[in-house]
Amino acid sequence: MPAKRSYHHGELRAALIQASFDLLAESGLQRFSVAAVARRLAVSTAAPYRHFPDRAHLLGAVSTTAAHDLRAAIAEAAGAAGENPAERLAAVAGAYVRYVTRTGAGFHVIFAAELYQLHDEARREQTSALMTTLIDLATAAGRAYREAVPLVEATIAIGHGYASLYADGFFARKDATVDEIANRAVDAARTLISDWPRPGAPAGRRPA
Amino acid sequence: MPAKRSYHHGELRAALIQASFDLLAESGLQRFSVAAVARRLAVSTAAPYRHFPDRAHLLGAVSTTAAHDLRAAIAEAAGAAGENPAERLAAVAGAYVRYVTRTGAGFHVIFAAELYQLHDEARREQTSALMTTLIDLATAAGRAYREAVPLVEATIAIGHGYASLYADGFFARKDATVDEIANRAVDAARTLISDWPRPGAPAGRRPA
DNA sequence: GTCTATATCGAGATAGAC
DNA sequence: GTCTATCTCGATATAGAC
């Protein structure tokens, strides 16, 4: 095992992806830059381009990892939620909030418009697997098969909404922890799912 | 009334704010820049700085207008929703989706972190009025006063989640119109509000 | 009140040394 | 495989002419 002559020889690719996550978690996609990632690892701004041809490919690798890890987080949360299909789907919203808050890599990164023309088979597989997992959870919880997609959208929308507002500091009232926010997202998703696809009527359908 | 010798004499300030909205609606906060706003009006990149000392002050003016207009849109939607307090609050989620999709100026712009240290009394007034309107709607619909804030947060989170995913192209399946997305947000909010603050239990609390 | 011109900066990306 | 050096570009912001 040769002594490391400079910092990252041989591991820089993986280190760049990890540092990208750290940067996203701290500063968001807005401030993401290849140069900032390089700085964070104390390598030159040219070094990343030995491993990724351009910014989009680095972000694409982040997207691939994020899709994989988010799917794992979702599967784990569904498993922990027990047998009830609605409860399992509701748990997705909480897992989403926790994952995005921890990593900064939500759907806005995984499916970022700037990656649209990127051809990356590994990424396609991971994003596809992520969506399949979500659709499966929704199908199990849904009232009809064709409702699975909008049900997934609704669940993710709730998670994404809470996570985004949290990241933007909207819940800055001192008390709000990530887990609290995640629980609120789960509560909202659970309520929504239980009434899907016809939400409670404006009046009369439920006891006061 | 003097003839306009060059383009915007005397009206550039208002035109800059309007063009900022247009740019936000088309490209989002990510790509917002003072230079792009100037280009859009076919004035020099220096011209905006005669009216706003820096980028933050221009965005602050946009924030002020957005807070005012969003409040008006919300109030109108609540009015159109009738007398039922829960229905009036649910309508907020739909108004939010429509407003943000049309203008690009949601809470992430109105309460942008980069405006945090901006001291602007007009903006403070408008954001304050916006929040007051929201809290009032939630108080009327809420089960307890202290639930008003989290109830507003939940309603906005739903609207913000749908609006963000829509802006990011996640609903790009050809069918999704803005009004459809807004209606789904209202449905989700209505369901949530009707069960607030205790969402339907995982099992047994509601009829299948 | 707007222009042209310019200074500074950060970021993407490449060439060539080591 | 990483470095230094450099090019280009777009954005913020200022100075001074008109």
Query: What CATH number should be reported for the domain holding residue A12?
Result: 1.10.10.60
Chain centre to alpha carbon of residue B152:
14
- For residue A170, name the pLDDT band (cuts at 50, 70, 90): confident
Q: Do B22 and B104 share a domain, yes or no?
A: no
- B200 in any annotated domain: no
Q: Do B85 and B122 share a domain, yes or no?
A: yes
Q: Is the pLDDT of residue B1 over 50?
A: no
Chain A residues closer than 8 Å to B26 by CB: none
Q: Is the pLDDT of residue B48 over 80?
A: yes
Q: Domain range holding A26?
A: 1-52
Task: Give the pLDDT of residue B207.
Answer: 45
- Structural domain ending residue among the three candidates A35, A52, A69: A52
Q: Do B45 and B88 share a domain, yes or no?
A: no
Q: Is the pLDDT of residue B12 over 60?
A: yes
Q: Do A173 and A148 share a domain, yes or no?
A: yes
- A84 in any annotated domain: yes
Q: In the structure, how far is the CA atom of residue A47 from the C1' atom of nucleotide D5, in angstroms?
A: 14
CA distances from A29 to A42, A103, A108 (A): 21, 11, 8
- B20 in any annotated domain: yes
- Structural domain ending residue among the three candidates B30, B52, B74: B52
Q: Do A67 and A35 share a domain, yes or no?
A: no
Q: In the structure, how far is the CA atom of residue B3 from the C1' atom of nucleotide C2, in angstroms?
A: 15
- A160 in any annotated domain: yes
| Residue with the larger pLDDT of the pair B8 and A91 | A91
Q: Do B60 and B98 share a domain, yes or no?
A: yes
Q: Is the peptide bond before A197 cis (omega within 30 degrees of 0)?
A: yes
Q: Do B106 and B182 share a domain, yes or no?
A: yes
Preferred mutation among B168, B171, B193 to probe A, highest tally of A CBs within 10 A: B168
- A204 in any annotated domain: no
Q: Output the 3-class SS for A141-184.
A: HCCCHHHHHHHHHHHHHHHHHHHHHHHCCCCCCCCCCHHHHHHH
Q: Do B41 and B80 share a domain, yes or no?
A: no
Q: State the smallest CA–CA distance between residue A95 and chain B in angstroms.
A: 15
Task: Give the pLDDT of residue B204.
Answer: 40
Chain B residues closer than 8 Å to A111 by CB: 168-170
Q: Is the pLDDT of residue A175 over 80?
A: no
- A172 in any annotated domain: yes
Q: Is the pLDDT of residue A199 over 60?
A: no
Q: Do B65 and B156 share a domain, yes or no?
A: yes
- B26 in any annotated domain: yes
Contacts of A44 (CB under 8 A, 6+ apart): A38
CA distances from A197 to A136, A143, A144 (A): 17, 7, 9
Q: How far apart are CA B65 and CA B109, in angstroms?
A: 11
Q: Do B38 and B67 share a domain, yes or no?
A: no
Q: How far apart are CA A70 and CA A62, in angstroms?
A: 12
Query: And the tokens for A179?
Result: 């887990």
Q: How far apart are CA A105 and CA A107, in angstroms?
A: 7
Q: Do B118 and B170 share a domain, yes or no?
A: yes
Q: In the structure, how far is the CA atom of residue A138 from the C1' atom of nucleotide D18, in angstroms?
A: 67
Q: How far apart are CA B198 and CA A198, in angstroms?
A: 19
Total number of domains constituting chain A: 2
- CATH code for the domain in which residue A66 is found: 1.10.357.10
pLDDT tens for each residue of A25-60 = 999 999 999 999 999 999 999 999 999 999 999 999
Instruction: Yes or no: say if A58 and A14 are a contact pair by the CB < 8 Å rule.
Output: no
Q: Do A143 and A129 share a domain, yes or no?
A: yes
Query: And the tokens for B149?
Result: 């804030």
Chain A residues closer than 8 Å to B117 by CB: none
- A72 in any annotated domain: yes
